[in-house]
Amino acid sequence: MLKTSAIILVLTLTISLPSPVLAKTGHGGQCASCHTLTEKEATELIKSFGGTVSSVKHSPAKGLFELMVERDGQKGLLFMDYGKKHLIQGMVFDREKLEPAPAHKAEFPRPKQKAPLDVRTIPTAGAVIIGNPEGKKKLYVFTDPDCPYCRKGHEELKKLARIAPDLAIYVVLYPLPMHPDSFDKCRAIVEAGSVDILDRVFEGKPVPKPKGEVSRKHIEGNISFANTNGISGTPTLVMPDGRIEVGMGDAETMKKMLSSER
């Protein structure tokens, strides 16, 4: 079954913050007994970003606090090391299950969505196609190059294309507002119109700066469509019959889902 992904709020790249290192060494027992962080203290530490920390938990990844941050009506996660010196963007994943494993899993609201969509209305003019462009079956993927889960899922999409030769995967670029660099990356992909540039962006490699206004209009159109149709997180799949699925499974799981469609 396809897993639901969290809406990831990325506020910053790894940075240093002026705070004393409180981590202890050479100790045993539970981490919670000697490493603490209150919501008030955490909010103060990230005050330059304007967010409010509503909850702090110990991350499943040892040595990190997981912060539930609220800003501009959106919720998301940041991670802070026990020394309270660094913030980390992204999401903790279960390596074997290929799914997010946040400590705040229960706190994430499932976005409201309209379903099914009329797939003929999906803006595909600026989409990049993975797989068979002439494929009889079409899968639509709303993705953000700066979303860590999308990066992981991108590799699964390429695997899916190899095991489903009659499938056209339309990658619809959808930069989230909490990823300030993603908009221009999406424009660069649209302007190139190539899977190679798409791969380079997901690999974190440099790509040409966008130049044209057409690409801007394409991305703005994607954002408008997503907002109108209740797509608020990435990755989001739209199946050939218009069903919306939040998150992304592995290639075999997605192939089975596509095969089970009427």
Yes or no: say if 16 and 86 are a contact pair by the CB < 8 Å rule.
Answer: yes
Q: Are residues 126 and 252 in the same domain?
A: yes
Q: Is 29 exposed, middle or buried, given 0-12, 13-18 or 19+ CB atoms closer than 10 A?
A: exposed
Report if residue 246 sits inside a domain: yes
Same domain, 126 and 193: yes
| 164: CB partners within 8 A, 6+ apart | 131, 137, 255, 258
| C-beta of residue 123 within 8 angstroms of C-beta of residue 172 | yes
Tens digits of pLDDT across the chain (262 residues): 444 343 333 333 333 333 333 334 444 445 566 789 999 999 999 887 667 899 999 998 889 999 988 876 667 788 899 999 888 866 777 766 656 788 887 776 554 555 589 999 999 999 999 999 999 999 999 999 998 889 999 999 999 999 999 999 999 999 987 787 899 999 999 999 999 999 999 999 998 899 989 999 999 999 999 989 988 889 999 999 999 998 888 999 999 999 876 5
Q: Give a yes or no: residue 3 inside a domain.
A: no
- Note the pLDDT of residue 6: 38
What does residue 161 show for φ and ψ, rounded to 5 degrees?
-60, -35
Q: Provide the pLDDT for residue 10.
A: 38
* Max intra-chain CA distance, the chain: 61
- Tokens read off for 54: 């509503």
- Residue that finishes a domain, picked among 107, 127, 153: 107
The answer to whether residues 193 and 247 belong to one domain is: yes
pTM over 0.75: no
Question: Would you state the pLDDT for residue 218?
Answer: 95
Q: How many CB atoms lie within 10 A of CB 36?
A: 13
Domain membership flag for residue 167: yes
In this structure, is residue 92 part of a structural domain? yes
State the sign of the Cα–Cα–Cα–Cα dihedral 38, 43, 46, 47.
negative
What is residue 90's DSSP assignment?
S
Burial of 159 (0-12, 13-18, 19+ CB in 10 A): middle
Among candidate residues 48, 75, 107, the one where a domain is terminated: 107
Q: Is residue 255 part of a domain?
A: yes
Whether residues 135 and 43 share a domain: the answer is no
Residues 174 and 200 in one domain: yes
Query: SS3 of 139, please?
Result: strand
Tokens of 184: 């221009």
Pairwise CA distance, residues 184 & 161, whole Å: 26
User: Can you tell me the distance from the alpha carbon of 241 to that of 238, in angstroms, rounded to the nearest whole number?
Assistant: 8
251 plus 150 within the same structural domain: yes
The total of structural domains in the chain comes to 2
Co-location of 166 and 230 in the same domain:
yes
Identify the DSSP state of 234: S
Report yes or no on 28 lying in a domain: yes
**What local confidence, expressed as pLDDT, does residue 72 receive?**
62
What are the structure tokens assigned to 67, written together?
Answer: 């912060």
Distance CA 129, CA 138 (A): 10
Q: What is the pLDDT of residue 51?
A: 79
27 part of a folded domain? yes
Instruction: Say what the pLDDT of residue 94 is.
Output: 74
Domain that includes residue 51, residue range: 15-107
Q: Pick the last residue of a domain from 54, 87, 107.
A: 107
Q: What is the C-alpha to C-alpha distance for residues 230 and 7, in angstroms, rounded to an integer?
A: 13
Q: Cis ω on the peptide bond leading into residue 235 (within 30° of 0)? A: yes
- How far apart are the C-alpha atoms of 226 and 231, rounded to whole Å? 5
Q: Examine the domain organization and report whether 131 and 103 are in the same domain.
A: no
Residues 102 and 123 in one domain: no
Length of the chain: 262
Residue with tokens 């639509």: 140
